[in-house]
Structure 1
Amino acid sequence: MPPRRSYDQYCSAARALDVVGDRWTLLIVRELLAGPRRYTDLHADLPGVSTDVLASRLKDMERDGLATRRRLPPPGAAFVYELTPRGRQLLPVLQALGEWGRPGLGERRPTDAVRAHWFALPLLRQLDGEGIVEVRLEEGLFHLHAGAEEGPVYGDGPAPGEPDARLTLDTATCTAIARGELGLAHAVREGRVEVSGEGTLAKALREA
């Protein structure tokens, strides 16, 4: 592989950007926070990235110790990419970037793609506690692993097993939460988020 480009500056921020500063890298991390993903799934959920760029970024991430590639056992037998522990350490970085970028989110543009699970990280910032939360949006269904120290942070589709809480809300409400215009607890009190379940997280949201 060609040598990694570097700012050649003795600064920890510059060193970090040597690894994650290329276009698409942090968005690939966002997708891999859901757990192991096939190349085709990554490409489908990163609209706008070319196959060459995606392949190149994944190789760079393997080289830099952010991700690994492995083959699933039969009958799957497909290759998947997943984050290493060092790659997972980028979760608070993405959360901080999301928080910083909220004022620039604005109204959704006609050219803006959207996936239901892209709301996972903003919602995670609103949850205080540990447990699995299933989220139902018009765009789709996904689940969150609140307080998870290892393993997936979120995932597409229904929660594995019985979740601690189920949230049902419309896109306008979820968008307002993502923009920072509305807190999750406040949205529950206003009746804009339906909470079901008997887990600790569900009770905390209903009582907030």
Structure 2
Amino acid sequence: MPHRSYDQYCAVSRALDAVGERWTLLVARELQAGPRRYTDLHADLPGVSTDVLASRLRDMERGGLVVRRPLTPRGGAGLYELTERGRALLPVLRALAEFGAPELEERRPTDAFRAHWLAPLLLGVVERTCPGASGTVEVRLETGVFHVRPAGTAGGGAGYGDGPAERPDAVLSLSEEACVRIARGVASPAEAVERGEASVEGEGPIARALRAAPEFTPS
């Protein structure tokens, strides 16, 4: 199928030419968390067909957003990874997450869920709670673990990843319900700790700020 274009000399339309197809931004969301195999991507994108996923990955490769690297010198199954241009989509994904956060008030019975899907929102929470903080926060839910790096962190800046952090500066453990409330901006990590819905491990500045954040004003 030929690649479609809006054929408009406009930065917005050019961006949509690159990432406006259905599923493309969700593929980017998954790959922001780190390189993934095709089977892992398919598992964490419930609802996408194998043909559509393969097509989107090919489009993203052609557009310079994704590269495919062999897992072994002999080839075989590949590992998909964002390029620098693909990683530049992080602010777009974060803005979309903030825009969509109010819609998380009610979870529909048909909604799939993966813990790391809350990472873009928790990244913003950590940055607002600990302005200028440097370090990594590991977030543990009953349904999964992910980690976030605020913008002040050296060696790569803001980002998130699926799974545990290698050396977290703070570990935030909480229920899925409490994490969603924090992600939506209707509660703070400190309030969740005070109510016994969360705990924070760590003794550095970022951990102390999460335990005892300044007075919180819901958004």
TM-score, with length taken from structure 1: 0.90
What's the Cα RMSD here? Answer: 2.1
Letter in structure 1 aligned against 2:38? Y
Letter in structure 1 aligned against 2:11? S
In structure 1, distance between residues paired with 2:168 and 2:74: 28
Q: Name the residue aligned to 1:200.
A: 205
Does structure 1 residue 142 correspond to structure 2 residue 133? no
Letter in structure 2 aligned against 1:27? L
Letter in structure 2 aligned against 1:122? L
Does structure 1 residue 156 correspond to structure 2 residue 155? no
The count of residues paired between Structure 1 and Structure 2 equals 206
In structure 1, distance between residues paired with 2:124 and 2:75: 34
Does the CA contact (< 8 Å) of 1:34 and 1:152 recur in 2? no
Q: Name the residue aligned to 2:124.
A: 125
- For residues 1-208 of structure 1, the aligned pairs below 5 Å read 2-73=1-72, 78-128=77-127, 129-147=133-151, 150=156, 153-160=159-166, 162-208=167-213
Give the unaligned 5+ runs of structure 2: 128-132, 214-219
Deviation string for 1:82-111 (max 9, x for gaps)?
A: 111111111111111111112222311110
Deviation at 1:134, TM superposition (A): 1.3
SS at match of 1:102: helix
Deviation at 1:168, TM superposition (A): 0.7
Does the CA contact (< 8 Å) of 1:35 and 1:153 recur in 2? no
Deviation at 1:189, TM superposition (A): 4.4
Deviation at 1:185, TM superposition (A): 4.0
Residues 203, 77 of structure 1: CA spacing in aligned structure 2 closer, same or farther, 3 A cutoff? farther
Give the unaligned 5+ runs of structure 1: none
Deviation string for 1:36-74 (max 9, x for gaps)?
A: 100000000000000000000000001111111011246
In structure 2, distance between residues paired with 1:207 and 1:77: 49
Letter in structure 2 aligned against 1:198? E
Letter in structure 2 aligned against 1:172? E
Residues 21, 11 of structure 1: CA spacing in aligned structure 2 closer, same or farther, 3 A cutoff? same
Identity %: 64
SS at match of 2:118: helix
In structure 2, distance between residues paired with 1:11 and 1:98: 24
SS at match of 2:178: helix
Letter in structure 2 aligned against 1:203? R
Does the CA contact (< 8 Å) of 2:178 and 2:192 recur in 1? yes
Does the CA contact (< 8 Å) of 1:35 and 1:152 recur in 2? no
In structure 1, distance between residues paired with 2:104 and 2:75: 38
